Structure 1
Amino acid sequence: MSVEAGSRALLADGDVVLVRPLHPADTDEVLALHTRLTEQDTYFRFFGARPSALDKLAAEMTADPGPGHYAVGCYRRGELVGVANYEVLKDSTDAEVALVVDATVRTQGVATLLMEHLVSHARKTGLKRLVAEVLAENAKVIHVFADLGLRFEASVGGPERDVVMILDEDATYLDAVLKRDSVADAASLTHLFKPSSIAVIGAGRRPGSVGHAVLANLVASGYPGPVEVVNPHAGEILGVPSVPSVAALSRTPELAVVCLPAPAAAEAVEECGRRGVRAVVIISSGLTGTEAGARVHAAVREHGMRLVGPNCLGVVSTDPACPYDLTFLGSRVKPGNIGVVTQSGGVGIALAESLNDLGLGMSTLVSTGDKYDVSGNDLLMWWTADRRTEIAVLYLESFGNPRKFSRLARQLARTRPVLAVRSGSGDTAQRAAASHTAAAATPAVTRDALFEQAGVIAVDTVAELVDVIAGLSWQLLPGGPRVAVVSNAGGAGVLAADACEREGLVMAELSDETREQLVKLLPSEAAVRNPVDTTAAVPPAVFADALRAVLADDGVDAVLAATVPTAVGDPGASIAAVLPPEYKTVFAVRPGQRARVAPLVEGGRNGVTACYDDPAAAAAVLARLVRYEQWLNRPEAGEALVPLEDPGALRAFAAGREGWLPPRDAVELLRLAEIPMVETRYVEAGDSVAAATADLDSPVVLKADADGLLHKTAGGGVLLNVHGADRILEAFRTLRSRFGSALRGVTVQPMAEPGREFLVGVRSDPVFGPLVVFGLGGVDTDLIADRAARLAPLTGADADLLLDGLRASKALWSPGRLDRGAVRELLLKVSRLAELVPELTELDLNPVRAHSDGCVALDVRARLERPAAADPFLRRLRD
């Protein structure tokens, strides 16, 4: 639901409130809120006694939102507890702000939440500053303004303070909002993960029913709090007392789980809301898209509950202080350090069983199902504060707010690994392309860019997910990409080396000292260069010594030890004696073992590593861990561009425009964004080409602007190396003859300096935001399709990854050949354009020609659309 229609949000204590714009119908409630202010609060608000015309003030505050006025209210359980509003100062981009909060909720962050909504709306309407006049002794309100995260200024001296909040769009404010969001979200999820009491609604007496299985798992989990069942046909089930209705429960449960058919489930959720239940898990299916589902949505919204589901497997928490299992899993979940959130119950079941087989446990398992409320973003915030969770795992079939996900995942991945299973990569999800950039910016490309920039370790299958979890659980992150292979079977070693190179790992060059040591240890027929083949004749102790020697080499970051048992012994059994090495990663490979992955030895951490049945699986895990380690060591921010001289002119130019820009306007857009483009003249189809191009240096290139002509070169719309006025006129006539009435005009440019041609573009997704695409351009664009993509805003590190992310990158950036710095700067400027102009839906710079001393765009296509109203970083719950 849009912000204007109202949105649920969380206070600092986890309480759910509704924030919405105020309208004339709210006047009486606003008046009542001001009337019940204490004497001190009245003095702070009005700088004196309560004004006699308070009813008039309330009416002014609740006037319908317009260009110069906006007011929002915060409703807690249907009661108005806070109001914030601003009035735009005359002929200004400043607005004066005022706040009123009921004393009963003063410490719960109502004022801050209301201010965030004002800030979001003010930015959207183009305001630059919020200002206020505050009594110096009103320290609490001054702190609210100062702690928002905006640039803040306040006068000093005297009884009053003039406060200014500058509405810059920077990361500092977003980080502050995210921190407040995380604190509030964790507080609200305490009702879910640490409930003081639980009710199971719909637990049946029949062992084969889902509700019975959920109750049985709860009873077996050792949950320490009181439990009751709601079932009108039983007095007790599995030793747990049962009552006929939610109203008949002996106490109000903090958490309820619903296992009923859809219509009955909706009624149960409504009863839970009326009873004051704080969190609900709905196992039931068949709600989405029905009247019953709409009733659930309404009940959650009205009563301020947190909800998991519906149509889900349930929730598990293994917190020793409050363990519970509210799922219908067939086996117990072991306590551990892995947090899992999944939209698919089947994926949750498969993962739980696989981790159990490995002896690994979970901290939390949340099956979100149809995801009415609690989502992956909520779990990212919970895990950030939950030190029991050391590995975060996500299976997400959709993103409700991917831009927020990116910031949350990046924050969490800085402290512990975040893993995700890719889904929705098929061609059926891809949209029709209107340009080269759009063709490259498929949903799968956008999602992968999101994962890569956020430091998420992405896999394609549950089996690969388990492989990576095993590797992370028992070994350190590798210190670099240099890998050595040690094997007692030459073929296994060669396969492992091939797999490492396919994954982009570097086969380490062993030092002379290491090779000399191996020569002394191993038979004469052994291979002592990487991959090391000890031969099958060596006993386990000698293999272990060879492994130690390789691990001691400073040029080796990680080792794959591939072994097969022989009549001489089993070298694989000796690997455990070498572990753990100092700051080195070791994975074992045992071709032919029954399990895809297993612990090398059972028991404690010493001597344990992941043992894979195939070298390719081990190499794939190692490569993912190397990339994650490199991401951790990458700078979070890059060098800033010189600020635009007049960003307001750029925004003003784009405002109100929609559709594909005419060529002349597209060129102007680049000029305002300070993106280099070759000098360009545009000639309307009926104008004089001679007059328009008289002072252009020859030779020139003419490019047709015609209806239906998307790719000019392929469509015969480009004429190169045209010399002199006569030839220019002739070329113009040729294009007019070729395209007839479809020809709108012709672009004329001087021939650019030869160089390598690139594609640089932007494709803005209404959910993910703008994606910057970089690749080979010109005639190579479709032929080779060598491209990379990152979500805006780009850091300097992101721009470098784009430059190095092509298959051709190594050959392109040899010293002195192309001006890498100029192309890098152009990428950052394009990213800035996408951020400053949210209307920019599609941008295609193709080609951008780079040479040894700069780069310049030769052609541009740009499409603008009215941006979505929703602010992805505004604090609100799903509706």
Structure 2
Amino acid sequence: MSSEPTARVLLADGAVAAVRALGPPDTATVLALHERLSEHDRYLRFFGTGASRDDALAAKIATETGERHAAVGCFLRDELVGVAHYEVLDDSAYAEIALVVDASVQAHGVATQLLEHLVSIGRQHHLRVFVAEVLAENSAMLRVLADLGLPYELDRDGPEVLATVRLNPDDRYRRAVTGRDRAAEEASLAHVLRPASVAVIGAGRRESSVGHAVLANLLRSGDHARVAVVNPRTDQVLGVPSARSVTALADPPELAVICLPPPEAADAVEECGRSGVRAVVVISSGITGTPHEERMRRSIRRYGLRMVGPNCLGVASTEPGQELDATFLAGPVPAGRVGVVTQSGGVAIALAGALASLGLGISSVVSTGDKYDVSGNDLLAWWGNDRRTEIAVLYLESFGNPRRFTRLARALARTKPVVAVRVGTGETARSAAASHTAAAATPVVLREALYEQAGVIAVDSLSAVADVVAALSWQPLPGGSKVAVISNAGGAGVLAADACERDGLVLTPLSRGTADRLRAVLPSQASVSNPVDTTAAVPAIIFSEALRILLGDEGVDAVLVITVPTAVGDPQGALAPLLDRAAKTVLLVRPGQVERVKPVDYAPGRPATASYADVVDAAAVLAALSRYARWRHRPAGPTPETLDTAALRTVADLIPADANWLSPQQCEEVLKVAGFPVTASRYASTEDDAVAALETFGGPVVLKADAEGVLHKSASGAVVLGLPDADAVRGAHRELRARFGSRLRGVLVQPMAPPGRDLVLGIRSDAVFGPLVVFGLGGTDTDLVADHSARLAPVTATDADLMLDGLRSSDALWATGIDRAAVHDLLVRLGALAVLLPEIAELDLNPVRVAANGCVALDIRIRWERCAPADPLLRTLTP
């Protein structure tokens, strides 16, 4: 039996298991599982306790997965503890399922994990329905099916129930999967962040050593009785007795922190796994890229360990009664409401210091380092159930599972802000890309699409993190993007207005009533239009009253307040009581203040809002909060079921396995089945065939060369337009033959398209992020302007609207009166097509000609790669 799992997964109790497909080598193991069944479990499984052919059943279950059969097994420490399988019925879209789970792990989530994997396999094989015969008294199995989240029906007939489960994951299923993910992560990461006992392996007496520092922080932060030391070279460290090994401890610790050189660190992880330790934090560096890396990875897979690191700062939690500081930070971790996960230990140190300087603290911090196991995704799930965490901060240099990130971040951001630092945004478009879509789908575009769809507030620096977190901590989210600016320094107010407009905020006109009330309280030389200039000499109480009037304007969502002290007074002094009661977002700017951002206290330790030294920073924060608020209140929108899955798979299965760039005929067939409007065309292998095609269309035509190595037809001189008659067609054909010689396979003949606007739409599949849908200006504008928007597939109706409005030129584009609804439909269809046909590595529709009523694709290119589709709803851990 192979010991390599298909996936590492979390069970409901937080245990790490392996789920993989079963095959003939697993027959004996499957048989052993059935022979361990109790009489009661055998009765529920086989509807009786009589003799059964377990050996024949085991051989049947352990058949290789194919078109009509699939079986998956769940393993704990290499022992098979559960099996689920299906057999396709006469109707090829239906399959009967059966499950069996060892009594020792029933109610631990094994059955649910197996069913989720079976659903994924079934959908890959185009199954639509699972059926199961269940005894009515088998309440546990019926509850598993009901809680799965898929549409299901129960047909009761005496002592038996026929359960029907439909394999069309909808929003309810996604919510159910996310809920299970969060619950399992809470149980699993409790071993890391709420351990009942901790051992520091490698803590020494030398104060300058990392192990000594970690032990000192642990002793300072929590209960001394739960801390142990493993070091064979000393009897005690900091008063804690030292054991020679983990096995020498009276009881295995729940968490071990390893501070050893690479060879010894790998040995320690293996020993921890054998001894029953549940989680390890590996501080040690210099492991990745050496043989010790695979040794560590093998140990965490074999023993189901959770691992943070290696090459990390450690972990800390400030949960009352469960305080834990297993880091080598220089000072105590300040308690607070901000959760932090970072791949860089240095970034964790910087963020902890920045938050502490603002009087903000941390709920939990995890430095993932080289992240062999625990990653940002795990913490997103943890914070979803952690009431103490109100804001999440991420510093991620890479994404191990972007699909899971999207699902978890989107769910978390609906209730708690998620702030991420953009990292590695220096990539440029690949100039030699085979299609315009590929050129647009840079790593930067992929990451930005990921953040935008998940509602993540992305910033460009650690300083900007502090700016945003301060505002989120002390102010409500703005109700919109309409901003008023008030200042006692007119020049600063103008700078603020410019900064707001650059960041997409609207400097809203003030109502007549607001302007009249401002005139009544401000000096005559004041400006009561937006931005409001109160003049420098205005008393603090008058400035405060002017701000109160602005906050009462129904057309104002947020106010940027700029104050400078003068010889006659300081307007900021009277603002705190008003700010404390304000229901709208108010940020202050204090030009010249030493700190980049600081709290403005209403009372000691009770900040009313944030004050910024620069109007540019304050405007950027306000814009970020406005975009997040807009995302949060925007309905996610369902993913429409728009395509005929069976028909598409029939077409796809006819495409040869070694296909690369599809022929024009194959491209056209795929898009027609998907319901795309495609221009009429005829493929002509000869000059006479081209003339015959002209006669079919009966009007001016276009000839497009199908030549080996030619992808960008217009740029290669492979398109001849406006050919009115046979002589013109023959001349154009000879011209193309002369230009491309033996590379010319044939020509595509199409009628001239009606006038309209040219757009480009496409799909680009990424091995890590999955398929991306791209939209932008087409035709010659594609290269000249490079104005694009993008979303990861699938594309919801809301996503499509945002894409259509996401170009720099969107306002001007739609003002021309072209058919927006038709393009919207194409974007949604493209997203569905990308998911249903993962073999599409690139799809380029350029141009799509859009008129006042409808649109049509004039040129199609598809690059094909055989691949196994990734299921974004599988709850798998990073390998």
- The Cα RMSD (Å) is 2.0
CA distance in 2, matches of 1:571, 1:146: 62
Query: 1:428 and 1:290, CA in 2 relative to 1: closer, same or farther beyond 3 A?
Result: farther
Query: 1:52 and 1:596, CA in 2 relative to 1: closer, same or farther beyond 3 A?
Result: closer
Secondary structure at the aligned position of 2:504 is classed as: coil
Match of 1:269 in 2: 269
**8 A contact 2:474–2:607 mirrored in 1:** no
**8 A contact 1:309–1:370 mirrored in 2:** yes
Query: Which of 388-397 and 534-543 deviates more?
Result: 534-543
Match of 1:60 in 2: 60
Secondary structure at the aligned position of 2:695 is classed as: coil
Match of 1:745 in 2: 746
Match of 2:163 in 1: 163
CA distance in 1, matches of 2:305, 2:33: 25
CA distance in 1, matches of 2:79, 2:3: 19
**8 A contact 1:203–1:212 mirrored in 2:** yes
Query: 1:399 and 1:430, CA in 2 relative to 1: closer, same or farther beyond 3 A?
Result: farther
Match of 1:799 in 2: 800
Query: 1:639 and 1:78, CA in 2 relative to 1: closer, same or farther beyond 3 A?
Result: closer
Secondary structure at the aligned position of 1:437 is classed as: helix
Match of 1:757 in 2: 758
Match of 1:458 in 2: 458
CA distance in 1, matches of 2:327, 2:663: 58
Query: 1:700 and 1:185, CA in 2 relative to 1: closer, same or farther beyond 3 A?
Result: same
**8 A contact 2:182–2:382 mirrored in 1:** yes
Match of 2:773 in 1: 772
Secondary structure at the aligned position of 2:616 is classed as: helix
CA distance in 2, matches of 1:719, 1:429: 29
Q: 2:649 aligned with 1:651, yes or no?
A: yes
Q: 2:851 aligned with 1:858, yes or no?
A: no
Query: How does 1:593-612 map onto structure 2 within 5 Å?
Result: 593-601=593-601, 603=603, 608-612=608-612
Query: How does 1:166-315 map onto structure 2 within 5 Å?
Result: 166-223=166-223, 226-315=226-315
Secondary structure at the aligned position of 2:388 is classed as: coil
Match of 2:672 in 1: 671
Structure 1's unaligned 5+ residue stretches are: none
Match of 2:716 in 1: 715
TM-score by length of 1: 0.96
**8 A contact 2:639–2:795 mirrored in 1:** no
CA distance in 1, matches of 2:543, 2:588: 13
Secondary structure at the aligned position of 2:525 is classed as: coil
Query: 1:199 and 1:171, CA in 2 relative to 1: closer, same or farther beyond 3 A?
Result: same
CA distance in 2, matches of 1:639, 1:202: 52
Match of 1:690 in 2: 691
CA distance in 2, matches of 1:556, 1:474: 19
**8 A contact 2:429–2:440 mirrored in 1:** no
Residue 263 of structure 1 deviates from its aligned partner by 0.8
**8 A contact 2:576–2:602 mirrored in 1:** no
* Letter matched to residue 676 of structure 2: I
Match of 1:728 in 2: 729
Query: How does 1:408-487 map onto structure 2 within 5 Å?
Result: 408-427=408-427, 432-487=432-487
Query: Which of 600-609 and 547-556 deviates more?
Result: 600-609
Query: 1:596 and 1:688, CA in 2 relative to 1: closer, same or farther beyond 3 A?
Result: same
Query: 1:174 and 1:633, CA in 2 relative to 1: closer, same or farther beyond 3 A?
Result: closer
**8 A contact 2:703–2:721 mirrored in 1:** yes
Secondary structure at the aligned position of 1:579 is classed as: helix
CA distance in 1, matches of 2:549, 2:599: 23
Query: 1:706 and 1:604, CA in 2 relative to 1: closer, same or farther beyond 3 A?
Result: farther
Secondary structure at the aligned position of 2:696 is classed as: coil
Once the two structures are superposed, residues 213-238 of structure 1 have per-residue CA deviations (whole angstroms, 9 ceiling, x without a partner) of: 11111111134651111122322222
**8 A contact 2:639–2:794 mirrored in 1:** no
CA distance in 2, matches of 1:837, 1:283: 43
Query: How does 1:541-580 map onto structure 2 within 5 Å?
Result: 541-580=541-580
**8 A contact 2:3–2:78 mirrored in 1:** no
Secondary structure at the aligned position of 1:155 is classed as: strand
**8 A contact 2:771–2:792 mirrored in 1:** yes
Residue 555 of structure 1 deviates from its aligned partner by 1.3
Residue 264 of structure 1 deviates from its aligned partner by 0.9
CA distance in 1, matches of 2:679, 2:871: 36
Once the two structures are superposed, residues 74-109 of structure 1 have per-residue CA deviations (whole angstroms, 9 ceiling, x without a partner) of: 222333221222223357333322211111211112
**8 A contact 1:210–1:328 mirrored in 2:** yes
CA distance in 1, matches of 2:716, 2:581: 62
Secondary structure at the aligned position of 2:530 is classed as: coil
CA distance in 1, matches of 2:3, 2:846: 38
Residue 278 of structure 1 deviates from its aligned partner by 0.7
Match of 2:80 in 1: 80
**8 A contact 1:675–1:830 mirrored in 2:** no
Query: 1:371 and 1:240, CA in 2 relative to 1: closer, same or farther beyond 3 A?
Result: same
Residue 629 of structure 1 deviates from its aligned partner by 0.5
* Letter matched to residue 271 of structure 1: E
Q: 2:114 aligned with 1:147, yes or no?
A: no
Secondary structure at the aligned position of 1:491 is classed as: helix
CA distance in 1, matches of 2:246, 2:399: 34
**8 A contact 1:474–1:605 mirrored in 2:** no
**8 A contact 1:544–1:577 mirrored in 2:** no
CA distance in 2, matches of 1:475, 1:213: 37
CA distance in 1, matches of 2:64, 2:482: 64
* Letter matched to residue 438 of structure 2: A
Residue 805 of structure 1 deviates from its aligned partner by 0.8
CA distance in 2, matches of 1:78, 1:43: 27
**8 A contact 2:126–2:646 mirrored in 1:** no
Query: 1:461 and 1:429, CA in 2 relative to 1: closer, same or farther beyond 3 A?
Result: farther
Once the two structures are superposed, residues 810-847 of structure 1 have per-residue CA deviations (whole angstroms, 9 ceiling, x without a partner) of: 11222x71111111112112222112211111111111
CA distance in 2, matches of 1:598, 1:247: 50
**8 A contact 2:500–2:619 mirrored in 1:** yes
Match of 2:701 in 1: 700
Residue 638 of structure 1 deviates from its aligned partner by 5.2
CA distance in 1, matches of 2:14, 2:429: 37
Query: Which of 450-459 and 739-748 deviates more?
Result: 739-748
**8 A contact 1:196–1:225 mirrored in 2:** no
**8 A contact 2:577–2:602 mirrored in 1:** no
Query: Which of 348-357 and 180-189 deviates more?
Result: 180-189
**8 A contact 1:685–1:745 mirrored in 2:** yes
* Letter matched to residue 472 of structure 1: L
Residue 115 of structure 1 deviates from its aligned partner by 1.6
Query: 1:29 and 1:706, CA in 2 relative to 1: closer, same or farther beyond 3 A?
Result: closer
Secondary structure at the aligned position of 2:83 is classed as: strand
Query: 1:668 and 1:371, CA in 2 relative to 1: closer, same or farther beyond 3 A?
Result: same
Structure 2's unaligned 5+ residue stretches are: none
Residue 550 of structure 1 deviates from its aligned partner by 1.4
Query: 1:826 and 1:73, CA in 2 relative to 1: closer, same or farther beyond 3 A?
Result: closer
Query: Which of 424-433 and 674-683 deviates more?
Result: 424-433
Runs of 4+ in structure 1 over 6 Å off: none
CA distance in 2, matches of 1:380, 1:561: 34
CA distance in 2, matches of 1:39, 1:187: 31
**8 A contact 2:687–2:730 mirrored in 1:** no
CA distance in 2, matches of 1:169, 1:693: 47
**8 A contact 2:84–2:114 mirrored in 1:** yes
Match of 2:401 in 1: 401
Query: 1:432 and 1:201, CA in 2 relative to 1: closer, same or farther beyond 3 A?
Result: farther
Residue 539 of structure 1 deviates from its aligned partner by 2.1
CA distance in 2, matches of 1:687, 1:77: 70
Residue 357 of structure 1 deviates from its aligned partner by 0.8
Corresponding pairs, count? 875
CA distance in 2, matches of 1:200, 1:712: 65
Secondary structure at the aligned position of 2:293 is classed as: helix
Q: Among all aligned residue pairs of Structure 1 and Structure 2, give the percentage whose two residues are the same amino acid.
A: 60
Residue 446 of structure 1 deviates from its aligned partner by 0.8
Query: 1:405 and 1:696, CA in 2 relative to 1: closer, same or farther beyond 3 A?
Result: same
**8 A contact 1:481–1:557 mirrored in 2:** yes
Query: How does 1:488-637 map onto structure 2 within 5 Å?
Result: 488-601=488-601, 603=603, 608-637=608-637
Query: 1:425 and 1:631, CA in 2 relative to 1: closer, same or farther beyond 3 A?
Result: same
